Amino acid sequence: MVKLLAKRLGVSKTRIQIVAGGRARDKTVVVVGLSEGQALAALR
């Protein structure tokens, strides 16, 4: 999951952290250095 997000967002894997739902279907992640809007725009 982290590898996929890092590639799509154009950031290193170390800047992504799963903060909730590590083994669940739904997850909450933090991306250091990107706002929520920037992350959503990159994923669209």
Name the band, by pLDDT with cuts 50, 70 and 90, for residue 33: very high
pLDDT value at residue 27: 94
Measured CA to CA, the distance from residue 10 to residue 25 in angstroms comes to 23
* 33, 11 contact by CB (below 8 A): yes
Q: How many domains does the chain have?
A: 1
pLDDT value at residue 20: 96
Q: What is the pLDDT of residues 4-30, one digit of tens each?
A: 999 999 999 999 999 999 899 999 999
Name the band, by pLDDT with cuts 50, 70 and 90, for residue 34: very high
How much is the pTM? 0.78
Please give the residue range of the domain that contains residue 17. 2-43
